[in-house]
Amino acid sequence: MATITATATPATTLPVSVTIPVIDISGYLDSDPHLKPQIVNAIHQAAISPGFFQVIGHPIPLSLRNRLFDALKTFYALPREVKQSLHRNNSTCLRGYETVGEQRLEEGYQDAKEGFMIGQEMDGAGLRFAQGPNQWPPEELCPGFRETFMEYFEAMRAFSRTMFRIVALGLGLEEGALEDFVYGRDTVTMCRAHRYPPTTPEMAAKSRGIGAHTDFGALTLLLQDDIGGLEVFHRPSQTWHPVHPVKDAYVVNIGDMLSRWTNDKYMSTLHRVISPISDRDRYSIAFFNEGLLDQVIECIPTCLEAGDTPKYEPVKVEDHLKKRYGNSY
Ligand SMILES: O=C(O)CCC(=O)C(=O)O
Ligand SMILES: [Fe+2]
C-alpha cells in the first residue's frame, strides 16, 4: 500500500538513464548452487539501488495471471452500483472497491485509477488491524472471480516467501530468518488490482494514474500488463524514468518499512503511474507484503557499518501500518 509523500518536481524523463535490472530467480528455485549466490547478490544490489527490479523465472503460472486479468475485466465492467455496494468504506479491514479519484497521493492530482483490494480471509473473534473478511461481487455476475483472485493471492504469498528467503540471505541473515514476518498467522498481506482508464494527450499532463508515492510496507510484487506508464524517480537528477513492461515479469520494489529496517541501506523509491495515452485500459495487480503485526522494526544489526548508528526509533509493524494507512485516504 502507498502513502503520501512530498510533491515531486514535475520534471519529465532523461537525460540520466536508470537501469531497472531484470533478475531470473529460476536458479534459486532450482537450488542451483552456482546461481543461488548470484541471484541473492543481484537482488541485494538492486535493493540498495535503485530499489526497483523485475523478476522473471518466478513460480506464478501464465494461465493463472491471464485468468485473473480476464476476471478483472469482467469485474470492472460491472454496473457502478454493484461495484459501489462493495466499497471499502463498508469494510473494517480495508477490503473492497475504490472509485476513481478517491486516493490522493500527489498534491494537485487525483488518482484516475479504480481499485479492488483483498487480503487473507479471516473471520471470528480476536481480529486485529487489517484482518477480516473480503467483500465479493455476486458469483453469477462475475463467475470465478473470487476463486481465481484467492488462488492468485495464495500463489503470491508463496512467491513472497521465496523472495524473503532471498532477501534474508542478501542481508547476511539465516535463509529462514524472515519466515514469520512474511508468512506468520498475524502477517498482513494485501493485494490490490487496478484499472487505469486511458487519457487524451491534452489531459495527460494534468492527470495521474497514481500519484507519486513510496509504498509503506516491506516489499511489493507488481504485475503490470503491456500498456506501460509506471515510472520511478531518480533523486539525484530529479528525473522520472519508465519501468518498461517486460514479458512475464514482476516488478519488485522496496517499501518504507524494509528501508527503515535496513537503516536506509535498501531504498524505498518514489514512483507513479502516468495515465495511459491509449485506446485501452491499463491493468495492474499489486501484492503488498505489509509484515507481521507484532514485529518490531529495529535496525537489522548486519545493516550497521562500523561507526554507524541506527537512524530510526524501533516501531511495531501494527503501529506503522495504522499510521500510514490512515494517512493515505
Ligand atoms: O499500477 C502500478 O503500476 C503501480 C501501483 C502502485 O504503485 C501501488 O499500488 O502502490
Ligand atoms: Fe506503489
Is residue 116 a contact partner of residue 97, using CB atoms and an 8 Å limit?
yes
Cell numbers representing residue 313 in the block = 526509533
Q: What is the predicted pLDDT for the residue at 6?
A: 38
pLDDT at 4: 38
Confidence band, pLDDT 50/70/90 cuts, at residue 328: low
- Please give the distance, rounded to the nearest whole angstrom, from the Cα atom of residue 290 to the centre of ligand 1: 15
Which atom from ligand 1 is nearest to the alpha carbon of 243?
3
Mutate which of 226, 230, 285 to test ligand 1's pocket (most atoms within 8 Å of Cβ)? 230
**Taking a C-beta distance cutoff of 8 angstroms, is the pair 284, 225 a contact?**
yes
Provide the number of structural domains found in the chain: 1
b/e burial code for range 148-181 (CB count within 10 A of at least 16 → b): bbbebbebbbebbebbbbbbbbbbeeeeebbbeb
Does ligand 1 lie within 6 Å of residue 284's CB atom? yes
Compute CA distances 223 → 220, 277, 305, whole Å: 10, 20, 35
Lowest mean pLDDT among 37-51, 76-90, 141-155, 273-287: 273-287
169/178 Cα distance (integer angstroms): 10
Q: What is the dihedral of CA 252, 22, 170, 130, to 10 degrees?
A: 10
Q: Return d(Cα 4, Cα 246) in angstroms, integer.
A: 28
d(CA 232, CA 49): 12
User: Of all atoms in ligand 1, which is nearest to the CA of residue 251?
Assistant: 3
Closest residue by CA, ligand 1 atom 1: 284
**223 Cα: distance to centroid of ligand 1 (angstroms):** 9
Question: What does the angle CA 90 – CA 92 – CA 93 come to, to the nearest 5 degrees?
Answer: 115
Q: Does the CB atom of residue 230 touch ligand 1 within 6 A? A: yes
Residue 3 Cα distances to 10, 106, 197, 325, angstroms? 19, 9, 22, 7
State the distance from the centre of ligand 2 to the C-alpha of 217, rounded, in angstroms: 10
Q: Is the pLDDT of residue 296 over 70?
A: yes
Domain around 117: 2-327
Give me the interface pTM, i.e. the ipTM.
0.99
Q: Say which CATH number the domain at 39 has.
A: 2.60.120.330
Ligand 1 nearest-atom number relative to CA 282: 1
